[in-house]
Structure 1
Amino acid sequence: MKILVGVAVGIIVLLFSIGFLYVGYKKRKFIKLREQYFKQNGGLLLQQQLQECDRTTKAVKLFSAEELEKATDNYDERRIVGQGGYGTVYKGMLPNNMVVAIKKSKHVDQSQIEQFINEVIVLSQINNRNVVKLMGCCLETEVPLLVYEFVNNGTLFEHIHNPNKSSKLSWETRLRIASETAGVLSYLHSTASTPIIHRDVKSANILLDDNYIAKISDFGASRLVPVDQKQLSTMVQGTWGYLDPEYFHTSQLTEKSDVYSFGVVLVELLTGKKALSFDRPEEERSLATYFLLSLENGKLFHIVDEVIANKGNNEQVREVANLAKRCLKIKGEERPTMKEVTMELEGLRAMASHPWVSGIDVNPEETIHLLEEKTEVYMNSIGTTSTGYIDSMKNHITPLVSSGR
């Protein structure tokens, strides 16, 4: 009996030891695999880049794989809120009840790793209410994950090109979205600690919240520009229909490349048409080309979205169309800067909010004074002087006011 008990206890101890060793082995293997993924996904490069950045860089939270699995119910299909060639976006819920968007790539290669790290570095240096906030990332999985604030009203692309949604985009809303988007690009080019070129400005990368406030996303293709450089030689990257033709032919990336792409977004907002569509006749496939031709032939209002056409805002529509035309100049040096674009759009919004638009008689001096105040507040907010702009707006507005327009 004693022998049997001894053998049984021995077997139990042996099995327990084997199980313990196996669990320890699996745990060590799991930890080693995570370390491998961390290195494979550019963790060391990210740490190095963050150390090299200046103090304006905000901390990037490194989420564990378990945290994000739990947040998405193990990446349940019902949590998917967006899919594309880049991968999948899931809606997640963190333990503190914060709703987030988790971007998961479909597959990974070295070029995508660099793009992923680039997006983290760029977003860590941006502090702007109209940019989707980066909460952190996870490098412990086979493909790296980015965690953003959740913006729940879809993309500008969806709102422009979905008939059920486009009807809700009034002219005032479109003008504000354009102004907010331009303001972000102006901030990136002129105010950020290190100038940033977005390189993929398009309506699909402009998200809208419940109040239709614009938030710019997807900085994977963006580039930080050393302060002593005006242009960068890069592999051409962007989206057909929005891609700057000068950049495409020269591979020289400048901030004016973003200006061209923004010009296409302006035309989308004006016309409700897609930037590139093979469903249209050949001469209309490229929206930028079709728009410029229509403008040249005096047929602007033949292509303006019926949602905003003939709503008493024709003069403003013409002004925005002319601004878009300047943004779409073939030569980058002939395009305005995003700061100038932003100021013009803010000026148009200021004009729309004052009584002369409705034909009410006002004193020209009072009108210009009101515009000066609004413009000065805006210019101070982006850290630049407004004197030259106000002077130019005086010259532009005085004849309109004096004539009752």
Structure 2
Amino acid sequence: MPSRAAHPNAKPIQNPPVFFLDRMASSLPFLLFLFLLHFSTAASEDSTSPAIFRAVCGKSNTSDPEGFDVHFVDAMEKVFQNITISGFGTSVSGPDSNLTVYGLGQCFSYLSHVNCQLCYAQSRVKLPHCLPASTGRIYLDGCFLEYADRDVSRDSVDSADTFDCGNATFPNGPAPANLTSRLVGNLTANAYQKKGYYEVGSIVISSSLTVYAMAQCWLSLNSSGCRACLEQARDNLVGRCLPASSSDAKAMNAGCFMRYSTYPFYLPVDGSGGGSSSHVWIWVVVALTVTVVVLAVIGGAAYWRWRRSRNPEDEANSEVIRSISKSHLSFKYEDLCQATDNFSQNNKLGQGGYGSVYKGTLPDGREIAVKRLFFNTRQWVDQFFNEVTLINQVQHKNLVKLLGCSVEGPESLLVYEYLCNTSLDHYLFDTFKKHELDWERRFDIMLGTAEGLAYLHTASVVRIIHRDIKASNILLDNRFRAKISDFGLARYFAEDQSHLSTGLAGTFGYMAPEYIVHGQLTEKADIYSYGIVVLEIITGRKNQNSISTSAEGHSLMQQIWQHYNSDTLIKLLDSDLQGKCTEEEALNIFHVGLLCVQASPALRPPMWKVVEMLTSRSKELPAPSQPPFINIKGTDSTSRSESSETSYLLSSSVKSLDSGQASVNQVSVSIFQGR
């Protein structure tokens, strides 16, 4: 099924800089290490990536795709809250609206807790491909996920039920099919009576052939519904697949899943059934592949070096590096090493999605911040030149100043002005430090960040979307003035472009719902992220762990929206601000934040308008509409803490499933290309 969002900005590096390939071609041991690392990582990822058996999208579309998307994201988050605890979950989002979305997820009982979460993450990434269809379901090797515009939790069979007989067949005549038919019948008779509606079994056909089978119903069914579902699944497998001697078949119904195979799919990888020999064969293939690829790359690198001067694009890259080396932006690698005490952990200021930042002191006494990019990312060259190019083109009092970079050493380094008060999150979410953020400082931080974003969106030389606005990317100088940092994920686009279709990048909890679902990037995504930061600043609460810290198990967004509707918003004002500002001032900030996080991107005000709202109190603000993610609720105080904290991990755990990077909380997620 084709992806609904293209990824034009996510392309492999085709023409790396000169210094990179020169070093590759001259270091065979290092090259072997890189390729072994790459293949072992790929093998590890493949082993944890569940196969997709079938995706079924509804034939009718929702009348309001934008509104439906918001409730879809909310419903999937709530399914996760439950599936993390028990392996099964249902949900409903927007029950009082005409865009209600129901969700249902089930992990098969043979999966471990971790593999269940990984399977859910894979299904959650792929299921949005069905949108804007009003229903959709997906069956994976280990789990099932469904959404619909009606309650489907009691459905055992329906018109979308399907089966797959596969392409392989049994050897040795009809005997295997007959015995398999008996095995499937036994599972059908037993599974609906078992706890968890789950049953597995195997039958030995011969010394070299064993058939394994499993059956499972969703826990939302009663026993009679489970029985009806399994009987239809059995009829499809026995009546459609086994007469043709299919040796691996699956029945996929609304309320259950049944499979038989000559492969022990429900057993651990190192269990019986020939798993060890298959792994030996895999490693043999990997070893041969590594050898071939290494030789090919060495030959390719040599050939590239021969043709380097004849390739205009490579020559352009070389020219960029030469021009940087000769400009005021260039720093010597050895000088930066010495300035940071060889990147000592004592000088480490923090870490983001694409690098670590260290404090350094130059020989002339200037204090700097050195960003050391991670080498083991496929997009490292793109990220480096993206940040150098973009931030060197923009100059604003509320943007961190780029002093230069190092391009000739063994790794890429960026050099920024050093800001002594580090980042906003170090103060805002620290019980002892946040008293330093009085009302005036917090207001100035909100205003300064808004002015910096307004400049990026409308006033800079190029139109820039930051993509990762959050408290940890707002740095503070010695007077606590805000400066936006970390442009590694930023993107620019032409004036005539309405949006960019791009891979998912940013930090979960700050990402707009339409961007999560569709991957379509506009300034509105930055505005949503900014709104989250404003609400965090005024409440002193972190959006990402607000469920676990709430006595009722409500998210920060839900708490704010409930108090807004009850005219009690002032109760959520950070206690450190009580008596430090007027009620009118506080409510105005709440109002601006809610306008920025509205579910509909079209309703969010542009950043220049936000600046106007903050500085001009005379104009009456429009009423905000409902934000997304307001119905997420934990189950109890213990499980709530675990599930709310890890929900962002599992939302982004596609790092094990996609060829990008993902991380949690303060680390950015970047998913450039789905499998």
How does the TM-score come out when normalised to structure 1?
A: 0.71
Is the 1:194–1:224 contact (alpha carbons within 8 Å) kept by the matching residues of 2?
yes
Residue 607 (structure 2) aligns with: 338
Alignment of 1:188 onto 2:459: no
Q: Which of the residues 338, 348, 359 maps onto 1:70?
A: 338
Residue 118 (structure 1) aligns with: 386
Instruction: Give, in whole Å, the separation in 2 of the partners of 1:282 and 1:323.
Output: 26
Q: In the superposition, relative to structure 1, how do residues 281 and 168 fare at CA in structure 2: closer, same or farther (>3 Å)?
A: closer
Q: Which of the residues 267, 276, 300 maps onto 2:569?
A: 300
Is the 1:108–1:143 contact (alpha carbons within 8 Å) kept by the matching residues of 2?
no
Residue 107 (structure 1) aligns with: 375
Instruction: Give, in whole Å, the separation in 2 of the partners of 1:294 and 1:44.
Output: 60
Give the superposition deviation at 1:209: 1.1
Q: Which of the residues 360, 377, 391 maps onto 1:92?
A: 360
Give the superposition deviation at 1:299: 3.0
Q: In the superposition, relative to structure 1, how do residues 48 and 242 fare at CA in structure 2: closer, same or farther (>3 Å)?
A: farther
Q: Which runs of 5+ in 2 are unaligned?
A: 1-18, 28-303, 305-312, 622-675
Instruction: Give, in whole Å, the separation in 2 of the partners of 1:265 and 1:241.
Output: 10
Instruction: Give, in whole Å, the separation in 2 of the partners of 1:232 and 1:255.
Output: 10
Q: Which amino acid aligns with 2:519?
A: S
Instruction: Give, in whole Å, the separation in 2 of the partners of 1:294 and 1:181.
Output: 26
Give the superposition deviation at 1:31: 12
Residue 633 (structure 2) aligns with: none
Instruction: Give, in whole Å, the separation in 2 of the partners of 1:337 and 1:94.
Output: 40
Instruction: Give, in whole Å, the separation in 1 of the partners of 2:413 and 2:401.
Output: 15
Q: Which amino acid aligns with 1:291?
A: I
Q: Which runs of 5+ in 1 are unaligned?
A: 1-28, 52-58, 349-392, 398-405
Q: Which amino acid aligns with 2:428?
A: I
Sequence identity percentage: 36
Give the superposition deviation at 1:178: 0.4
Q: Which amino acid aligns with 1:205?
A: N
Q: Which amino acid aligns with 1:344?
A: M
Is the 1:323–1:341 contact (alpha carbons within 8 Å) kept by the matching residues of 2?
yes
Give the superposition deviation at 1:282: 9.2
Alignment of 1:166 onto 2:166: no
Q: In the superposition, relative to structure 1, how do residues 60 and 190 fare at CA in structure 2: closer, same or farther (>3 Å)?
A: farther
SS at match of 1:164: coil
SS at match of 2:574: coil
Is the 1:276–1:285 contact (alpha carbons within 8 Å) kept by the matching residues of 2?
no
Q: How many residues get paired?
A: 315
Q: Which of the residues 500, 504, 518 maps onto 1:250?
A: 518
Instruction: Give, in whole Å, the separation in 1 of the partners of 2:532 and 2:328.
Output: 33
Alignment of 1:273 onto 2:541: yes
Higher-Rg member (1/2): 2
Residue 211 (structure 1) aligns with: 479
Alignment of 1:237 onto 2:505: yes
Cα shift readout 1:203-235 (whole Å, capped 9, x = no counterpart): 110011111111110011111121111211111
Q: In the superposition, relative to structure 1, how do residues 65 and 266 fare at CA in structure 2: closer, same or farther (>3 Å)?
A: same
Q: In the superposition, relative to structure 1, how do residues 332 and 182 fare at CA in structure 2: closer, same or farther (>3 Å)?
A: same
Q: Which of the residues 320, 327, 333 maps onto 2:589?
A: 320
* Higher alpha-carbon deviation: 113-122 or 175-184: 113-122
Residue 375 (structure 1) aligns with: none
Give the superposition deviation at 1:81: 2.2
Cα shift readout 1:177-226 (whole Å, capped 9, x = no counterpart): 10000000000001001111111111110011111111110011111121
Instruction: Give, in whole Å, the separation in 2 of the partners of 1:146 and 1:168.
Output: 30
Q: In the superposition, relative to structure 1, how do residues 46 and 183 fare at CA in structure 2: closer, same or farther (>3 Å)?
A: farther
Q: In the superposition, relative to structure 1, how do residues 73 and 337 fare at CA in structure 2: closer, same or farther (>3 Å)?
A: same
Please state which structure has a larger fraction of its residues in helix: 1
Alignment of 1:290 onto 2:559: yes
Q: In the superposition, relative to structure 1, how do residues 302 and 121 fare at CA in structure 2: closer, same or farther (>3 Å)?
A: same
Cα shift readout 1:309-336 (whole Å, capped 9, x = no counterpart): 3435110111111111111111111110
Q: In the superposition, relative to structure 1, how do residues 123 and 44 fare at CA in structure 2: closer, same or farther (>3 Å)?
A: farther
Q: Which amino acid aligns with 1:298?
A: D
Give the superposition deviation at 1:86: 3.7
Give the superposition deviation at 1:91: 1.1
Residues 8-23 of structure 1 aligned to structure 2 (within 5 Å): none
Q: Which of the residues 139, 142, 147 maps onto 2:407?
A: 139
Is the 2:438–2:580 contact (alpha carbons within 8 Å) kept by the matching residues of 1?
no
Is the 2:354–2:488 contact (alpha carbons within 8 Å) kept by the matching residues of 1?
no
SS at match of 1:237: strand
SS at match of 1:219: coil
SS at match of 2:359: strand
Q: In the superposition, relative to structure 1, how do residues 184 and 105 fare at CA in structure 2: closer, same or farther (>3 Å)?
A: same
Give the superposition deviation at 1:103: 0.9
Cα shift readout 1:2-21 (whole Å, capped 9, x = no counterpart): xxxxxxxxxxxxxxxxxxxx
Instruction: Give, in whole Å, the separation in 1 of the partners of 2:315 and 2:336.
Output: 21
* Higher alpha-carbon deviation: 298-307 or 247-256: 298-307
Q: Which of the residues 326, 334, 350 maps onto 1:82?
A: 350
Instruction: Give, in whole Å, the separation in 1 of the partners of 2:321 and 2:448.
Output: 29
Is the 1:49–1:121 contact (alpha carbons within 8 Å) kept by the matching residues of 2?
no
Instruction: Give, in whole Å, the separation in 1 of the partners of 2:371 and 2:484.
Output: 15
SS at match of 1:135: strand
Q: In the superposition, relative to structure 1, how do residues 124 and 212 fare at CA in structure 2: closer, same or farther (>3 Å)?
A: same
Instruction: Give, in whole Å, the separation in 2 of the partners of 1:183 and 1:256.
Output: 15
Q: In the superposition, relative to structure 1, how do residues 345 and 140 fare at CA in structure 2: closer, same or farther (>3 Å)?
A: same
